[in-house]
Amino acid sequence: MSRPATAAAAVLRSSGRRTPQLALADWRLPVAGAAAVELAARVGADAVQLDLGGPGRADWLDAPGSLAALRERSGATGVELTAVSGNLLNDIGLTAPEDSAQGQLVRTTLLRLLDTAHALGVPLVFVPSFRRSAINNAYDLRRTATVLGRAAQEAADRNLLLASENTLSATDSRDLVEAVGSPSFRLLLDTYNPRAAGVDVVELIRVNAPWICDQVHLKDGLRGAGGSVLLGEGDGRLAETLAALADEQVPVRTLVVETDHREGRTGRPAAASADLESTGLGDPGPMDTNLRNTNLMNTDPLATDIAWNLHADISWDLHKDTDPLAADLGWGRRHAGLLHHSIEGTA
């Protein structure tokens, strides 16, 4: 049975305006897959982005029975499945030479990622470029564009969009879009990662607005450590970023909370090698065991109250460890209004 629409959502629809839905990233939660869908429903999120999983991460998303369970839980709870990420590619290296073993593994992983998204019926696949897949020079950019250009064609064949998440400057991002050269290619914006890398996020949006996909990662941080604090409590200047998206009329449909809420990392694999530790950018990495130095239990009561009011139909019998997640959703609900856009003509 689908979750009923909130009163606020009904008002927005009747006025011909749409406010972005709020989603969770399952790789930032203590559980993954179908369990993440259940958690999203319990805390009042509208949608979930899923990670493909793999060695050192969660179980493979396409493991036997997993896709059917995800579709069933999504239908039963009303929580939408919006995207699949290939975070494993950060551990392999997207820029590996084509004829190398890593290059072959990149190709097979991308195809598996696209097939999984197609089987789930999600609209978007995105490929992160951090750690071993980081774009550090002109060669990396050319190699990444070649790999993503081929993947974009495969995505188009499956009626999917393919996006890159990276920390490139405004002009380098534009160069990547032009080098990939596919109408099925997008840029996935994270509100903190580029800023942590010294990129002017407002300029990034201004130059690349037509190619920014309609799902945006909401992340704050402190001193370059992304996802380390609750939304609005760091130095990420999130409201400024949302205002820039509104000014450039980017039709954002989904804001994805990407604060790290894993806590004890229940259901996540333990550390196995220091080689894959998180750099503070992108996904937190499979080996990060000391993710936050701040006390995330200091939640924003106002944010939590607003989230409660917007989702009165949801059971809020929350364990104390999920209170920070409720606060982040509350912050997202409060600020999503900056991105109201016309329903007509959006994609």
- The active-site residue, picked from 154, 258, 263, 277, is 258
Q: Which residues contact 120 (CB under 8 A, 6 or more apart)?
A: 50, 67, 70, 71, 81, 84
The candidate with the shortest Cα–Cα distance to 13, out of 268, 343, 347, 346, is 343
Neighbours of 98 (CB within 10 A): 12
Neighbours of 230 (CB within 10 A): 23
Based on C-alpha coordinates, what's the Rg of the chain? 19
User: Is 258 a known active-site residue?
Assistant: yes
The answer to whether 128 touches 85, Cβ cutoff 8 Å, is yes
- The tokens describing 133, both together, are 């897949």
User: Is 165 a known active-site residue?
Assistant: yes
Q: For residue 324, give the 3-state DSSP assignment.
A: helix
18 has which bridge partners? 341
- The active-site residue, picked from 165, 203, 248, 263, is 165
Report the sign of the C-alpha dihedral through residues 227, 152, 250, 332, in that order: negative
The residues annotated with a catalytic role in the active site are: 165, 258
